[in-house]
Amino acid sequence: MVFDRLKVHVDEEGQLKWLNQTDLPSLPQQPALLGIDDDKPHFALDLSDTPWVEDKQFADCRTTAMHISGPETGILAQARSQLDWHRKNRFCAVCGAKNRKERGGQVLRCETCERHIFPRTDPVVIMLIIDASNEERCLLGQGKGRMVQSNFYSALAGFIDQGESIEEAVRREVQEESQVKVGRVQYHSSQPWPFPSSLMIGCHALAVSTEIIVNSSEMANVSWFSKEEVIASLNNQHPELTVPGRMAIAHHLIKSWAEGEVQF
């Protein structure tokens, strides 16, 4: 799997284009081992800024993930994260010497102080908040980075702090972004998100207060939406509300609640 500046090589239909070693030039660097399938080792290779990429087709990984199978999205996530991690950790953070790849690129070791460096994953909570006094409505937010005129809303989310549990992070992030207080929290599912290296931990939670005070430094808007509105949006029938597509864990948090699958 070949990359150019973290974009992946695809064919004319937007599918992943795997290449054999004979299809490639002499490798400018050691590829990263992804695993073995059908007794064949599979690798990710960064060919950024080499002449080989000039007439080839590359695509954004998020866009590509919408057109490939579930198992392939996991492999793509692993490959992109691995190469990005290599790019950002060429030198030892302790002594400044060069790092070398070991175990197929799954570990880096400093050439001088022999320190091992392992890939890191940053845990992120993403939560659909349900009104405890009226479980027919949920809380959705619009990040500060979104265009003001956009109708796109999603579940609230944020990084877990050191020494913090999942439940504590859910309550803190919701209160920071909306001033809504949260009680019971329950886990739903998780999703790797390699932009650059996060693990999204999906939860549902019950709000024990309903008044919203938007944190304007982080959010453009936070609002309550009825189940009817959310179902219409999931069916692409709501003119003023757009929710995330199937690729995102937020979609599945919202959909499971809208279809009555969430029980507290």
Mean pLDDT (whole number) for 16-33: 86
The HSE-up count of residue 39 (CA atoms within 13 Å, CB side) is 0
pLDDT digits (tens, 9 = 90+) for 173-194: 999 999 999 999 999 999 988 8
Instruction: Answer yes or no: is 228 within a domain.
Output: yes
**Are residues 158 and 43 located together in one domain of the fold?**
no
Residue 122: pLDDT band with limits 50, 70, 90? very high
3-state secondary structure of 177: helix
Mean pLDDT, the chain, integer: 93
Distance CA 24, CA 20 (A): 7
* Predicted TM-score of the model (pTM): 0.87
Cβ-contact 78, 104 below 8 angstroms: no
pLDDT digits (tens, 9 = 90+) for 133-174: 999 999 999 988 755 558 999 999 999 999 999 999 999 999
Distance CA 251, CA 73 (A): 16
Is it the case that residue 94 has pLDDT exceeding 80?
Answer: yes
Mean pLDDT (whole number) for 120-126: 95
Of 46, 69, 88, the residue at which a domain comes to its end is 88
Tokens 């207080």 belong to 181
Beta bridge partners of 124: 159, 200
Mean pLDDT (whole number) for 223-248: 95
What letter would DSSP give residue 106? T
**Are residues 132 and 252 located together in one domain of the fold?**
yes
**CATH classification at residue 166:** 3.90.79.10
- The per-type count for the chain, helices as H runs and strands as E runs, is 5, 14
**Are residues 254 and 127 located together in one domain of the fold?**
yes
Sequence-ordered alpha helix ranges (H) in the chain: 61-65, 70-88, 166-178, 227-234, 249-258
Is it the case that residue 262 has pLDDT exceeding 60?
Answer: yes
pLDDT confidence of residue 67: 87
Tell me how crowded residue 162 is: count the other CB atoms within 10 A of its CB.
5
pLDDT digits (tens, 9 = 90+) for 34-78: 999 999 999 999 999 899 999 999 999 989 988 898 889 989 999
For the chain, what is the domain count? 2
pLDDT confidence of residue 259: 96
Tokens 């790019």 belong to 87
Most distant CA atoms of the chain, gap in Å: 64
Report, in angstroms and rounded to the nearest whole number, the Rg of the chain calculated over CA atoms: 21
Instruction: Answer yes or no: is 108 within a domain.
Output: no
pLDDT confidence of residue 99: 96
* Torsion region of 124: left, alpha or beta (phi above 0 gives left; psi -120 to 50 gives alpha): beta
pLDDT confidence of residue 226: 97
Look at 20-24, 35-39, 187-191, 222-226 and tell me which has the smallest mean pLDDT: 20-24
Is it the case that residue 234 has pLDDT exceeding 70?
Answer: yes
Instruction: Answer yes or no: is 168 within a domain.
Output: yes
Instruction: Answer yes or no: is 38 within a domain.
Output: yes
Tell me the percentage of the chain whose pLDDT exceeds 90: 84
**Are residues 54 and 166 located together in one domain of the fold?**
no
Mean pLDDT (whole number) for 209-217: 96
CA angle 249, 228, 157 (to 5 degrees): 30
Range of the domain at 33: 2-88
Tell me the percentage of the chain whose pLDDT exceeds 70: 98
pLDDT confidence of residue 147: 53
Please, what's the b/e burial string for 26-35 (b: 16 or more CB within 10 A of its CB; e: otherwise)?
eeeeebbbbe
